[in-house]
Chain A
C-alpha cells in the first residue's frame, strides 16, 4: 500500500513537470512556426521600417545588449556589496531586520513604479536624459533586490569552517570574504544575477516610462545615446494592424529568446568553472 502511494506521488510529480514543459514547448513551437521563416541575417542587421519585410531588429538588439550589460555592471557590485554588508558585517538589530524586510518587499514592486522613479531621478534630477545610462540605472534598481537576496542566500551556504580556517591562518575579515567566501558563493550569486537580468531584459513598462524610443534609426553609440530595446519593438509590432508585422514580432521574440539563453549559457559556464575550482 505504501509503495502504491509512493508510485502515485511520483506519477503526479511527473505529470506536473510534463505540463510545465509542455506549455513551454507549445510556446516555443508556436513562435518558431510563426517567426522562424522570417529570421535571416538581414532581419538582424536592418533597422525598423514601416514595411514589414524591410524591417529588422538591429537597433533594438544592440539597445538590449547595451542596456543589459550596463545593468549587470551596476547591479552586481552594488548588490553584492550590500549583501556582504548585511550578511557578514551587519548586526541582528531591529533596523537590520527592517531593512531586510523592505528589500524583500522591493522585489515585489511593480516594474512601472521603478520606471516612474527612474524618470524622476535619473532622467530629470540627474539629467541623464533618455539615455542607455538612465534605462540601465532604472533596470539596475529593479534587479537589485533579487541580486541582494540571492547573494545573501549564497553567502549563507558557505560553511563556517571555511571562515574559521581562514581566520586561524591569520587572515583579516576582508581577506576571508574576498579570498574564501566570495569565490565559493559565486555560483549562487551568478544564478541570482541571471534571474534578475532575465527579468530586466524582458521589461517594457519602466523603459517606456523613462522615454525609451520606438523608432530610432541607429544603434546606441555610447551610454549617453538614446535607445530602444527588443520588448518595446515587439510590443509595437504586435499592436499594428498589418498581419506581416505579427510575423516580425514572432521573429523578434525568437531573437530575444536566443539572447536570453546565451546570457544564461555564459552564466552556467562561469558558474561551473568556479564550482570545480571550489571543490578542487
Chain B
C-alpha cells in the first residue's frame, strides 16, 4: 500500500508543477542534429546562456538526418548539419512550409594518421589512399609495399570511423568517389577514441579520424600529409591544420559544416539574437573545440546571408568535396 501511495504522490507532484514550458516555449531556442556540430553549438549555447539568463537554449544530437526531420516538422528552430541539406529534405521542408536560411559555420577536417614509429609513412597521395580503401582492395591490399613499392614488406593494419558516422560517409565520398563505398575488412569504431588507442599502439597501423581527435592526441599519433596531385590548390603533400583547411589547400579531406535556421523561428527575437551571437563568436569558439573557423571575411558574408534572410541552399546538390566557403559564397554574391 505504501508503494501505491508513493506512486500517487509521484503522479500528483508531476502534474501540479506541469504548467508553462511546453515544447516550444517562447523563450526557448532549440537546436538538434549532427553530433559533429554538437560541440560547436554547445559551446555557443553555453556562452550565450551566460550573457542571456532568461533565454534557454537546448541542443540535441539526433544526427544530421534526424535533425532535418525534426526541422522540417517545425519541431526545432535550428538544425545542426555536417553536410548540406539533401534534395529530399528540401522537399520535405517545402511540403510543411518550413523555409530555411543556410549558414556555414566551420570546417571539419579528416586526418590520416599512423603510429609515430612508422617512419616510412611521411606522405600519401589520394590515389594511394584509394588503392588502400577502395571496395576492390578488400582481402587483397594487405601489405604496405602493395601501396608503394618503397614501403616495407609488412602487414598494413587499417583503422577507420564506423560506417554509421558522417566521417565515414565523407571519407569514402572524397577518396572512393561514392559515399559508403569502402572495403569492409578494417577495424572500425563509432568511438574515435578506440581508433586513437588502436593506431597509437600498433606500429603497422594506418587510419583516418576527425582532425579534432588528432589534435587532442598529437603526441601519440603521427600525421600523414595528403597530396591530391592537383597543383592549383597547393602543390605537394599538405598536412591538415587550421590554415590549410581554411584556405582549401588540404583537399579533399576537409568539409564545411552548417546550421540551418528556420525563417519563421528567425522572426522570434531570441532566435535572432542567438544566431547573431553564434556568428559573432564562432571564430573563437570553433577554435576552442578543435574545429577550424571560416575566417572573418567568410563570417561577414555568412552574417550578411542571415541579415538578408536569404533562404534556400547554395550547397545542396553541390559536391562539397574540395570546395571552400569563400568560393561558394562569392559565387552566390556574383549572381
Q: Which residues of A contact B (CB under 8 A)?
A: 48-50, 66, 69-70, 72-73, 76-77, 129-133, 183, 186, 189-190, 208, 211-218, 221-226, 236, 238-243, 246, 270, 273
**Contact at A49–B46, with CB atoms within 8 Å?**
yes
The reply to whether B216 and A243 contact each other, CB–CB distance below 8 Å, is yes
Q: Which residue of B lies closest to A80 (CB)?
A: B4
Cβ–Cβ contact B56 & A214, under 8 A: no
- Would A211 and B70 count as touching, CB distance under 8 A? yes
In the bound complex, residues from chain A placing their C-beta under 8 Å from that of B215 are 241
Expressed in whole angstroms, the minimum distance between the Cβ of B222 and any Cβ of chain A is 17
Q: Contacts A129-B23, A214-B61 hold; do A50 and B7 have CB atoms under 8 A apart?
A: no
Closest Cβ of chain B to A69, distance in Å, is: 5
Q: Contact between B7 and A77 (Cβ–Cβ < 8 Å)?
A: yes
Chain A residues in 8 Å Cβ range of B190 = 239
**Chain B contacts of A69 at CB under 8 A?**
10, 13-14
B17 touches A221 (CB 8 A): yes
Q: How far is the CA of A186 from the CA of B2 in the complex (A)?
A: 10
On whether the beta carbons of A211 and B216 are closer than 8 Å, the reply is no
CB <8 Å contact, A224 and B22: yes
**Most chain A C-beta atoms within 10 Å of own C-beta, residue among B45, B60, B215:** B60
In the complex, are the beta carbons of B217 and A50 less than 8 A apart?
no
- Across the A-B interface, give the 7 residue pairs with the lowest CB-CB distance, nearest first: A129-B23, A215-B59, A241-B216, A222-B18, A223-B14, A213-B60, A222-B17
CB atoms of B46 and A226 under 8 A apart: no
- A131-B23, A224-B20 known; 11 new pairs, CB 8 Å cut-off, are A73-B8, A73-B11, A129-B22, A221-B21, A224-B22, A224-B23, A225-B21, A236-B38, A246-B193, A270-B3, A273-B2
Is there contact, CB below 8 Å, between A211 and B18? Answer: no
Given contacts A70-B14, A241-B213, contact A186 B56 (CB under 8 A): no
User: A72 contacts B7, CB within 8 Å?
Assistant: yes
- Contact indicator A211/B213 (Cβ below 8 Å): no
Chain A residues, Cβ within 8 Å of B45? 215, 217
CB atoms of B60 and A211 under 8 A apart:
yes
User: Are B20 and A222 in contact, CB atoms less than 8 angstroms apart?
Assistant: yes
A208 engages B7 (CB within 8 Å): no
Number of A-B residue pairs having CB atoms within 8 Å of each other in the complex: 127
Known: A217-B45, A221-B21. A186 touches B3 (CB 8 A): yes
Instruction: Give chain A nearest CB distance to B60 CB in angstroms.
Output: 4
A211 engages B7 (CB within 8 Å): no
The one of A77, A190, A213, A240 in contact with B58, judged by C-beta atoms closer than 8 angstroms, is: A213
Residue of B61, B75, B193 touching A208 (CB-CB under 8 A): B61
Contact A217/B57 with A183-B1, A226-B21 known, Cβ cut-off 8 Å:
yes
- Whether B295 is near chain A, meaning CB under 8 Å from some CB there, is no
Given contacts A218-B56, A238-B191, A239-B192, contact A208 B42 (CB under 8 A): no
CB within 8 Å for A224 and B7 given contacts A73-B14, A217-B57, A238-B191 = no
CB distance from B69 to the nearest CB of A (A): 10
- Is A236's CB under 8 angstroms from B10's CB? no
Query: Are A241 and B32 CB-contacts (below 8 A) given A50-B289, A190-B3?
Result: no
With both chains docked as a complex, state the minimum distance between the C-beta of A71 and any C-beta of chain B, in angstroms: 10
**Using Cβ atoms and an 8 Å threshold, which residues of chain B touch A132?**
14
Given A130-B23, A222-B20, A270-B2, answer yes or no on A215-B58 (Cβ-Cβ < 8 Å): yes
B192-A222 in contact (CB<8A): no
Residue B35, interface by CB 8 Å: yes
Task: Choose among B22, B28, B38, B192 the residue that contacts A214 (Cβ–Cβ < 8 A).
Answer: B38
In the complex, what distance in Å separates the CA atom of A48 from the CA atom of B60?
13
